[in-house]
């Protein structure tokens, strides 16, 4: 069987080489098609001759392939003994990448291990990692990915068990829940972002004599006041894109009016979405009336509507703390949580080590470094991130982020609902919320659909 494979591989490879070389010749005179036809014909007749000779060549090719294999193996062995370079994969590009690279530089300086950064979005990783893992390969040694995905793949053996490398006491409460299966931890926590509430431009509020609300009634009045301002399209901008801005808003309502424990119950699946505490208390009494009154805009692409909000077409925008890096003047930013809110969602970036890595020790070093106070300090100092490591002091943050970090004091830190459950729930949750936003009347159907895929 091996012989056959070698023969066929040889056949194909040689045919390709011949075609490719004749093609390069052909390409250079592409402007004249008749010459092209001739070279194609030449090519074809050479292929014909070739087919007849290949049978005898097959044996020689097989033997040469074996020799080449030997040489390659020896080269790889030599390469392995030189300075190791490990690869870390993250979803950050442009400005985000510029903020992450200093952390990697610090690592290289401290540990003498070269690190290469590769950028892949999570959707791309979702597609290509299964293929690579099935073949026992991996594109990176430390990879950032969705928390629930890490846990799932940990169960299937593709992800290294890192329980011994992590000390949960150094981190915010519950940070590792999304990447835990039972008591086994599969992922590491890096920095993250908070979703504190509704952002507004302080200048906008001052110019229109508005103040952040302290009760639900004041919130409703605020919305009505903003709606009355000329030039305003809707009081609250609804971002969309993947669905997460809508789910963030919904979770905020759940936490504020259902209580932080309700968020935890929904994640665990111990409370149904169709039950009164969710349906009536949160949706029917609070969220849906605002939707029906037209206080929320139709879902629009979130980076576009962010600009429109900044320009004054909308009053409030519910966003995560990364917004501080996206506006021209972060000092003009103000934020308030819904009155009565006692818990905030914190979403961390999780990374893992694939079991197929060829640089296990170095990967572990980087992994632990990213979780450490040192790495997170470098990251948060640049703004837009909040540390999961509790040893990072508030002084390290730039002013605006300190304000956000302060918001979390006195409030419980909660996990993002859909990010933690993931899978089919997450997709359905987002889609149903998109539907709810434009058809608030379909609340019952929406909740039923969500409950059907809930844990």
Partner 1 sequence: MKIRKSTIIVHIIAWSAALLWILPFLGVLMAATRPFDEILRGWWNFEDFNPSLKSFVDAWNYRDAPIGEGILNSFLVAIPSTFIPMLVASLAGYGFARFRFPIRDYLFITILLLMSIPQQMVAVPLFQIMNDLGLVNSFIGLILVHSAWGLPWIILFMRNYFSTLPVEVEEAAKVDGASDFKIFYKIALPMALPALASVAVLQFMWVWNDFFFALILIGSTDRMLATQRIPYMSGERYVPWDLLSAASILVMMVPVLIFALLQKYYIKGMIGWTIKG
Partner 2 sequence: MGRNRITVKKNLPLFFSPALILIIFFVVFPALQTVYISFLSPSDEFVGFDNYADVLSRAEIVNLEGFPKWPPLGALIHNLIWIAIHLPLSMFSGLALAIILRDVKGASIVKSAIFLGMVTPMVVGGLILRFSFEERVGLVNAFFNILGFEQLTRTWTAYPETALFALIFGSVWLWTGFSMILYSAGLATIPKDYYEAAKIDGASPLRTFYRITFPLLKPITIVVISMTLLWELKIFDIVFAAFSGTRGPGGAGNVLALQMWLYAFRFSEYNSAAVVATFLTAFTLVISVWMIRYMVKR
Q: Which stretch binds partner 2 (CB under 8 A): 7-15, 198-206, 208-216, 394-402?
A: 7-15
- Shortest Å, Cβ 389 to partner 1: 20
In Å, what is the CA distance from 8 to each residue of 43, 47, 54, 369? 20, 15, 10, 48
- Shortest Å, Cβ 351 to partner 2: 19
- In the numeric block, the tokens 């903003």 are attached to 226
Residue 11 or 210 having the CB closest to partner 2: 11
Residue 115 or 166 having the CB closest to partner 1: 115
Bridge partners (DSSP) of residue 316 are: 236
- In the numeric block, the tokens 């005898």 are attached to 56
Which distant-in-sequence residues (6+ apart) come within 8 Å of 285 by Cβ?
257
Choose the contact partner of 23 out of partner 2, partner 1, none; CB within 5 to 8 A by kind. Answer: partner 1
Which distant-in-sequence residues (6+ apart) come within 8 Å of 143 by Cβ?
88, 89, 125, 129, 351, 352, 353, 354
**Residues 390 to 429: which contact partner 2 by CB under 8 A?**
423-424, 426-428
Bridge partners (DSSP) of residue 344 are: 413
- Shortest Å, Cβ 326 to partner 1: 7
- Examine residue 228 and tell whether it contacts partner 2 (CB under 8 A): no
- Examine residue 12 and tell whether it contacts partner 2 (CB under 8 A): yes
Query: 140, 161 in Cβ contact below 8 A?
Result: no
Residue 39 or 191 having the CB closest to partner 2: 39
Which distant-in-sequence residues (6+ apart) come within 8 Å of 121 by Cβ?
91
Choose the contact partner of 11 out of partner 2, partner 1, none; CB within 5 to 8 A by kind. Answer: partner 2
- Per-residue binding string, partner 2, 232-271, x by CB under 8 A, is --------xxxx----------------------------
Choose the contact partner of 431 out of partner 1, partner 2, none; CB within 5 to 8 A by kind. Answer: partner 2
Which distant-in-sequence residues (6+ apart) come within 8 Å of 193 by Cβ?
320, 321, 322, 346, 347, 384, 385, 386
Which distant-in-sequence residues (6+ apart) come within 8 Å of 295 by Cβ?
223, 227, 234, 235, 236
Name the residues that contact partner 2, by CB under 8 A: 8, 11-12, 15, 47-48, 51, 123, 126-127, 130, 152, 240-243, 298-301, 304, 308, 423-424, 426-428, 430-432, 434-435, 437-439, 442, 446, 449
């Amino acid at each position: 069987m091996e012989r056959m494979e070698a023969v066929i591989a040889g056949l194909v490879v040689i045919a390709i080489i011949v075609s490719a070389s004749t093609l390069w010749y052909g390409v250079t005179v592409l402007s004249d098609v008749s010459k092209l036809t001739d070279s194609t014909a030449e090519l074809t007749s050479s292929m014909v001759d070739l087919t007849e000779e290949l049978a005898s060549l097959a044996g020689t090719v097989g033997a040469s392939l074996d020799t080449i294999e030997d040489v390659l193996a020896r080269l790889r062995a030599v390469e392995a003994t030189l300075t190791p370079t490990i690869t870390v994969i993250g979803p950050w590009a442009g400005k985000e990448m510029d903020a992450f690279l200093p952390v990697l530089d610090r690592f290289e300086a401290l540990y003498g291990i070269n690190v290469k950064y590769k950028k892949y979005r999570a959707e791309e990783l979702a597609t290509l990692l299964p293929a690579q893992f099935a073949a026992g390969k991996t594109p990176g040694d430390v990879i950032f990915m969705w928390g629930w995905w890490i846990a799932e793949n940990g169960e299937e053996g593709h992800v290294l068990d890192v329980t011994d490398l992590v000390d949960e006491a150094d981190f915010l409460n519950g940070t590792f829940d999304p990447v835990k299966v039972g008591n086994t931890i599969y992922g590491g926590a890096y920095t993250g972002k908070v979703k504190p509430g509704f952002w507004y431009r302080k200048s906008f509020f001052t110019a229109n004599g508005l103040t952040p609300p302290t009760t639900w009634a004041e919130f409703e009045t605020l919305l009505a006041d903003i709606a009355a301002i000329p030039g305003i399209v809707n009081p609250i901008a609804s971002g969309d894109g993947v669905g997460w801005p809508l789910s963030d808003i919904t979770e905020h309502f759940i936490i504020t009016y259902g209580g932080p424990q309700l968020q935890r119950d929904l994640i665990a699946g111990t409370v149904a979405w169709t039950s009164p505490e969710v349906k009536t208390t949160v949706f029917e009494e609070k969220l849906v009336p605002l939707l029906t009154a037209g206080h929320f805009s139709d879902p629009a692409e979130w980076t576009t509507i962010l600009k429109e909000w900044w320009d004054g077409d909308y009053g409030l925008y519910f966003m995560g703390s990364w917004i501080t890096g996206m506006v021209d003047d972060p000092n003009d930013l103000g934020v308030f949580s819904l009155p009565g809110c006692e818990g905030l969602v914190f979403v961390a970036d999780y990374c893992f080590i694939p079991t197929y890595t060829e640089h296990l020790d170095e990967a572990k070093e980087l992994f632990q470094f990213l979780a450490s106070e040192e790495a997170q300090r470098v990251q948060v100092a640049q703004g837009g991130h909040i540390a999961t490591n509790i040893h990072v002091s508030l002084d390290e943050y730039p002013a605006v982020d300190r304000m956000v970090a302060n918001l979390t004091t006195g409030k419980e830190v909660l996990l993002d609902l859909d990010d933690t459950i993931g899978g089919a729930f997450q997709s359905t949750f987002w889609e149903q919320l998109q539907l709810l936003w434009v058809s608030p009347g379909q609340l019952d159907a929406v909740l039923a659909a969500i409950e059907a895929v809930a844990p």
